[in-house]
Amino acid sequence: MAPRTVRTSIAALALTALSALAGCSSDTEPAASDHKPTPVSSAPNHDKVVADTARAYMLAWLAKNPADAKSMCELSTKAHRPNFDEDGGTITGCVNSHWKDIGAGDDDSGRAPLTIKISHVQDVAASPTHPAGKGALATGHRAGEDQWRNVLRLIEEDGKWRVEQVEDVDDYFAHTADPVAQILAGKS
């Protein structure tokens, strides 16, 4: 085949390929008969679900006294529940555990409302005692009190993201903006 014919054939193939790609555009502009944008992806936003679950857990634990043990249990993996060794981590056993007494003797009447911010949601590797999942940093604060931070590991269990591990962010990490992976890799 002559060089000119080869170039013409390649150009024709390229034009055909580009035309096919243009027909598969990911543009979300509605068609004339369709008034709804086409969703780009139907996959759930795992990071948002993880952040919402982590925040709900922290609020159940710390927003008021006593803690909301039922919500804490429902948001936790079976292995994270305090009754795992006794009955495999059932919700009923968890609600009847010592979690129901968290903060029972504390008086919150004069305290400001709690704010919880969840950030640094990320994939985390398995540790020697916990499976791989998602990690998140919870920062809590009440007006007039010092800010504190916890790191949480969440994993999927029974089709839902649940809390598997909670660790305090100690003074060693006071000047670290994102201690999530480092803490979850080394603490059980």
Tell whether 10 is covered by a domain.
no
Written as one letter, the residue type at 183 is I
pLDDT at 172: 87
For 174, other C-beta atoms within 10 Å of its C-beta total 9
**Domain region containing 68:** 46-104+112-186
How does the average pLDDT of the chain come out, rounded?
81
pLDDT tens digits along 11-65: 444 444 444 444 444 343 334 444 444 344 445 689 999 999 999 999 999 998 8
Tell whether 85 is covered by a domain.
yes
pLDDT at 99: 87
pLDDT tens digits along 76-87: 999 999 999 999
Q: How many independent structural domains does the chain possess?
A: 1
pLDDT at 20: 43
Tell whether 9 is covered by a domain.
no
Domain of residue 163, CATH code: 3.10.450
Q: Are 138 and 61 in contact (CB under 8 A)?
A: no
Q: Are 136 and 150 in contact (CB under 8 A)?
A: no
Spacing of C-alpha 21 from chain mean position: 35
Q: Are 47 and 84 in contact (CB under 8 A)?
A: no
Tell whether 153 is covered by a domain.
yes
pLDDT at 44: 60
Where do runs of H (alpha helix) occur along 33-186? Answer: 46-62, 69-74, 84-87, 91-95, 180-186
Question: Is the pLDDT score of 109 beyond 80?
Answer: no
If residue 122 lies in a helix (H) or strand (E), which one and from where to where?
strand 114-124
Residue of 64 and 70 predicted with greater confidence: 70
Written as one letter, the residue type at 171 is D
Tell whether 93 is covered by a domain.
yes
Tell whether 133 is covered by a domain.
yes
If residue 19 lies in a helix (H) or strand (E), which one and from where to where?
helix 3-23
Tell whether 53 is covered by a domain.
yes
Tell whether 151 is covered by a domain.
yes
Give me the mean pLDDT over the 140-148 stretch: 92
Name the pLDDT band for 2 (thresholds 50, 70, 90): low
